Amino acid sequence: MLSSPLIHSETATVSGGNSLGTAAQSAGPDSIVQATAEAQGLQLVAPENLPPFGTFWEVMPFGLEPPLPCPLFDSSLPVYAITDNSFLVDATGGQGASPQAANLRQSAAASMAGTSAVNASAPALATAVANLINQVQTAQANRQAGQQAQSTMMASDSLSPPWGLR
């Protein structure tokens, strides 16, 4: 079972494997999303450094929302870079799991999925977030590897004489 002490985050300078690292402020207590994102090595992104378009995965107290194409959420929410164009938005309010099930978006998402609005437990939410991060990063790595292999093949083809003559 995942356990993490709840502490208040301070301003920190973040940098790392992507170009979005910057000084950012995380407001409120640590959440399951924050703990999972940090454990996965994700960097907090300041609101002014977010691109106007990308894939924004919003995590609510009851679970994951379908991705948004642009930052259509409260700019005070912590946002972590999964890749250069995919982001994890912590809309849990510092909670791991909450018995709140009142907003329309949650009800609509539950209706579309054919399930009742059941809150995720903290371990289930942490697992869902970690699985999402892994899935997005793996897909990005596979795309990059495929592009690199394709460009390598094209470069080697251009060096060979036509029709296999040597």
Q: What does pTM read for this prediction?
A: 0.63
What is the rounded distance in angstroms from the CA atom of residue 88 to the CA atom of residue 56? 6
Q: Answer whether 105's CB lies under 8 Å from 12's CB.
A: no
**What's the confidence (pLDDT) of residue 97?**
38
Specify the higher pLDDT residue, 90 or 164: 90
What would the pLDDT profile of 82-119 be if each residue is shown by its tens digit?
A: 999 999 999 998 875 344 333 333 433 443 344 333 44
- pLDDT score of 70: 94
Instruction: pLDDT band for 64, please (50, 70, 90 cuts).
Output: very high
- Which tokens sit at 153? 């093949």
Write the Ramachandran bin of 40: left for phi over 0, alpha for psi from -120 to 50, otherwise beta: alpha
List, edge to edge, every strand of the sheet that includes 55-60: 43-45, 79-81, 86-90, 55-60, 63-64
